[in-house]
Amino acid sequence: MQEKGFKDGLRDALPTALGYISIGLAFGVVASAAHLSPVEVGLMSTLVYGGSAQFAMVAMFVSQANLASITLTVFLVNLRNMLMSLHATTIFTKTGFLDNIGMASLITDESYGVLLGENVHNKNILASWMHGNNLLSWLAWISSTIVGTMLGGIIPNPEQFGLDFALIGMFIGLLVFQLEAMASEGLKKIALILLTVALCFLLTSIFLSSSLSVLLATLAGCSVGVFIDDHN
């Protein structure tokens, strides 16, 4: 099969970028309601670049949480990106160090999902394809969150339009996409991952908060998935 490069990555990332625009606008409106400026939101989207982490940051800003709590929360929420980056290196085995750093810095749940879907059908993926996939999504997120913040004054109560559910809706769509891609490799892998997530959540929720249990269960599921892939 023909190798795919940067332009192909841009094209394949277009559906994700369109999804980011709607979520980014929603986040910008929510951030504006928390009295964040477009410049502040632009810097947050550029440097943090994590939808769930940024929504959590805004909520913590409103509750006047301290800097240490905010930093730790963002670190834990985005920790899953490390596992996704590690697994991506098993796909790009001949890629140089700088390319790996570039891909890992901008990888997200969505761009990782696009990568897995492409890898099911095409084993000849260039690093430049992943850069295109990541870059378009990153730029779409930054620009849409800034525009959303600028428009935020027009929508004083974003919850009444369901904008606070936008990120959850995209994650549901991503989950369906992931399950379809994994189903082509057999249902055993899906069953093991889901079982790991369920057991980890049930055990940790006895001692920890539900939010932290969800995070640990997610990391456990990702770890099992990476382990299975490495031994196939």
Report helix, strand or coil for 217.
helix
Averaged over 143-166, what is the pLDDT? 74
Q: What pLDDT is stored for residue 59 in this prediction?
A: 84
Q: What pLDDT is stored for residue 50 in this prediction?
A: 87
Closest CA to 224 of 193, 184, 191: 193
pLDDT over 90 (residue 42): yes
Averaged over 191-196, what is the pLDDT? 85
Q: What pLDDT is stored for residue 129 in this prediction?
A: 93
CA R_g for the chain? 18
Calpha distance 59→31 (Å, rounded)? 9
Q: What pLDDT is stored for residue 229 in this prediction?
A: 65
**CB 141 within 8 Å of CB 53:** no
Mean pLDDT of the chain: 82
| pLDDT per position as a tens digit, 112-147 | 888 888 887 777 788 999 999 999 999 999 999 999
pLDDT over 60 (residue 70): yes
Report helix, strand or coil for 50.
coil
pLDDT over 80 (residue 90): yes
Structure-block tokens of residue 86: 């590690």
Please tell me whether the overall predicted TM-score, pTM, comes out greater than 0.95 for this model.
no
215 C-beta neighbours (distance < 10 Å), count: 19
pLDDT over 80 (residue 71): yes
Q: What pLDDT is stored for residue 30 in this prediction?
A: 84
**CB 109 within 8 Å of CB 84:** yes
Calpha distance 110→138 (Å, rounded)? 11
